[in-house]
Amino acid sequence: MKLNLQNISGADAIFQALMAEGVDTIFGYPGGNNLPIYNSFYDYRDKVKHILVRHEQGAVHAAQGYARVSKKAGVCMVTSGPGATNLITGIADALLDSTPIVCLTGQVTSPVLGYDAFQETDVVGISMPVTKWNYQITKADEIADTIAQAFYIATSGRPGPVLIDITKDAQQEMLAQFNYAPCERIRSYHPYPKPNSVEIEEAVHLINTAKKPLIIVGQGVLLSGAQDEVMALAEKAEIPVAATMQGLSAFPSSHHLYQGMVGLHGNVAPNKMTNSCDVLIALGMRFDDRVTGRLDKYAKQAKIIHIEIDPAEIDKSVKTSVAINSDLKVALRLINKQIQANQHTTWLKYAKEFYELEKEKIFSNDLHSTENQLTMGEVANVLSELTNGNAIIVTDVGQHQMATARYYSYNSTDSWVSSGGLGTMGFALPAAIGAALWEKKRQIIAVIGDGGFQMTMHELGVLMQYNLPVKVVLMNNNFLGMIRQLHDVYYESRDFFGELQNPDFCKIAEAFSIPSYRVSERHNLRDAIQKMIDHDGPYFLEAMVAKINNVFPMVPTGAAVDEMLFEEPKKVE
């Protein structure tokens, strides 16, 4: 939307620009050096919602959650100094997970920049390595072009975080004339490369002649909105499909071609198939080390087709046979026009054998344990059954994350929100808040471990204040579970640092006026989860799970992706 206004302050100009970009929600925390913006906010409070978080890290994670479900840029706004530096973890998280967010930070007045004024920090310099783009505004007449460019850069091509640092005097300065138009082009920035027709034909040939093809879907499928195109390719050529962790829900878990998750704690079949396929079709994924395992043993037998919008990711870790630098949806539509119908019955039977192996060795223990204590897997599985795999699952980082990735069935697209590349503990609760501010029809369920929960549990105050219907499932094993598992596997269980003496989490939830329940018995689990789902408003469910409940299979450090552990190595006496 274009604007032409007269005699407005820089702070008013900021809001006019944000509303022109369609911003309806800002996650923020006021302070001295963004107070002029907050003063203007009063006049726009009926048009733009402000969510007061309890810590600035909560603001950036909430903006991430909002962006992940809305497909719009999430916006957060904080003050200078510690307010700005508290965003850095979330900004780095957003960069690695390709999440479009726009971060607005207040700054000291321009005459005292560089003089170590109160709460002055060079946030532009600090954030440069972890932003897609950043800029410091010192004059009000820079506001229009800077904000327009920020939203364009954040949301185009491979999405990512941008940061705008705005000095206090620029917020207060008056503009005789304010003109605003959304950015449509930046010289030397080409976010949508066109696919090469020769590469398209080479990819088609490899797919049509493949005997053992495998598709791996990454988050790029979700970001491009290419789910239908992936489905069309998989079904017409009968190609099995696997997902990276961040690609979960890009292809329905219940589909007969779906093989599961690849990588560190992935399923046996897709990990084995990776090192057995003859053509590997990588769609919108970056060959992260948690996916590949040992690189010099990764899919060496296969011709690799990589379709990726970010040229920096092509041939970075894994050398490809055919690389297509393009938006995924555009490239797949061209490929699908030339794909021949096919069948791969023997190849799919091969995958089935490994599914049965995993079912025998792993599923029975995780989902049908004979032990008295609950397992993380069965909590995730019952949650999946009672929501029909249609909730939006927001996880923190750790064993509960892996268990939920493995045992929740993602039958609706855009159902998985988690911290992947950075692995940020404390992500889930504020990200679920952001998701809930956009999504009104689907259940938002935050699945969190007791370690990560204590990093941002103060954000329960946001659930209380705004009565957001986020359901929190805390898997409590009184331990930093993933750290303990790594000690078990690599260091002969020499761990005495990770055991947690936890508070009464249900009392904490109730102190925030959030109903709570603690479940520890298997026969009560289903009813407890159903009660949570049926509750109107926020709810806190604490599941007391076994302290020793390791997530297997696991690809050990230095091993190939198909060299999985099914249990802890035997200890040397």
At 498 the pLDDT is 83
At 370 the pLDDT is 82
Does residue 493 register a pLDDT over 90?
no
Q: What is the pLDDT of residues 246-255, one digit of tens each?
A: 999 999 999 9
> Cα–chain-centroid distance for residue 117?
36
Q: What is the pLDDT of residues 304-328, one digit of tens each?
A: 999 999 999 999 999 999 999 999 9
Pair of tokens at residue 52: 């007061």
Does residue 103 register a pLDDT over 60?
yes
Q: What is the pLDDT of residues 261-297, one digit of tens each?
A: 999 999 999 999 999 999 999 999 999 999 999 999 9
3-180 fold: Rossmann fold (3.40.50)
Q: What is the DSSP letter of 246?
A: G
Q: For strands 416-417 and 392-395, give the pairing.
A: parallel
Catalytic residue among 132, 168, 212, 471: 168
Does residue 496 register a pLDDT over 80?
no
Q: What percent of the chain has pLDDT over 70?
A: 99
**Do the beta carbons of residue 334 and residue 195 sit within 8 Å?**
yes
Q: What is the DSSP letter of 98?
A: T
At 26 the pLDDT is 98
At 364 the pLDDT is 85
CATH class of 374-544: alpha beta
Q: How far apart are CA 21 and CA 148, in angstroms?
A: 8
What would the mean pLDDT of 219-246 be, rounded to a whole number? 98
Q: What is the DSSP letter of 196?
A: P
**Do the beta carbons of residue 73 and residue 155 sit within 8 Å?**
yes
| Type of residue at 275 | N
What's the Cα-to-Cα distance from 38 to each of 50, 334, 434, rounded to whole Å?
10, 48, 20
Q: Which residues contact 9 (CB under 8 A, 6 or more apart)?
A: 36, 40, 140, 171, 172, 173, 174, 175
Does residue 527 register a pLDDT over 70?
yes
Beta strands in 416-468 (DSSP E): 416-417, 444-449
Edge-to-edge strand order for the sheet containing 258-261? 258-261, 241-243, 213-217, 279-283, 303-308, 322-325
Q: For strands 3-9 and 174-180, give the pairing.
A: antiparallel
Does residue 123 register a pLDDT over 80?
yes
3-state class of 454 per DSSP?
Answer: helix
119 is catalytic: yes
Domain with CATH 3.40.50.970 in the chain: 3-180, 374-544
| Type of residue at 542 | E
pLDDT tier for residue 571 given thresholds of 50, 70 and 90: low
440 is catalytic: no
Q: Which residues contact 237 (CB under 8 A, 6 or more apart)?
A: 207, 208, 213, 339, 340, 341, 342, 344
pLDDT tier for residue 548 given thresholds of 50, 70 and 90: confident
Catalytic residue among 482, 532, 554, 564: 482
pLDDT tier for residue 368 given thresholds of 50, 70 and 90: confident
Q: How far apart are CA 358 and CA 352, in angstroms?
A: 10
Q: What is the pLDDT of residues 431-484, one digit of tens each?
A: 999 999 999 999 999 999 999 999 999 999 999 999 999 999 999 999 998 988
Considering the chain, what is the average pLDDT of its residues?
A: 96
Catalytic residue among 49, 119, 142, 297: 119
Does residue 572 register a pLDDT over 60?
no
Catalytic residue among 15, 41, 56, 455: 56
pLDDT tier for residue 203 given thresholds of 50, 70 and 90: very high
**Do the beta carbons of residue 249 and residue 410 sit within 8 Å?**
yes
At 570 the pLDDT is 65
Q: Write the Ramachandran bin of 243: left for phi over 0, alpha for psi from -120 to 50, otherwise beta.
A: beta
Q: What is the pLDDT of residues 10-51, one digit of tens each?
A: 999 999 999 999 999 999 999 999 999 999 999 999 999 999
At 80 the pLDDT is 98
482 is catalytic: yes
443 is catalytic: no
197-350 fold: Rossmann fold (3.40.50)
pLDDT tier for residue 194 given thresholds of 50, 70 and 90: very high
What would the mean pLDDT of 73-86 be, rounded to a whole number? 98
CA 305, 310, 316 angle in degrees (round to 5)? Answer: 65
**Do the beta carbons of residue 244 and residue 217 sit within 8 Å?**
yes
Does residue 71 register a pLDDT over 60?
yes
Does residue 573 register a pLDDT over 60?
no
Q: How far apart are CA 252 and CA 250, in angstroms?
A: 7
The structure's pTM equals: 0.96
- Listed residue (317, 250, 261, 323) closest to 289, CA to CA: 317
Q: How far apart are CA 50 and CA 38, in angstroms?
A: 10
What's the Cα-to-Cα distance from 138 to each of 19, 107, 146, 182, 505, rounded to whole Å?
21, 9, 11, 21, 46
CA 486, 401, 387 angle in degrees (round to 5)? Answer: 150
Domain with CATH 3.40.50.1220 in the chain: 197-350
Whether the upstream peptide bond of residue 213 has omega within 30° of 0, thus cis, is no
Residues constituting the chain = 573
- Nearest-Å Rg of the Cα atoms of the chain is 24
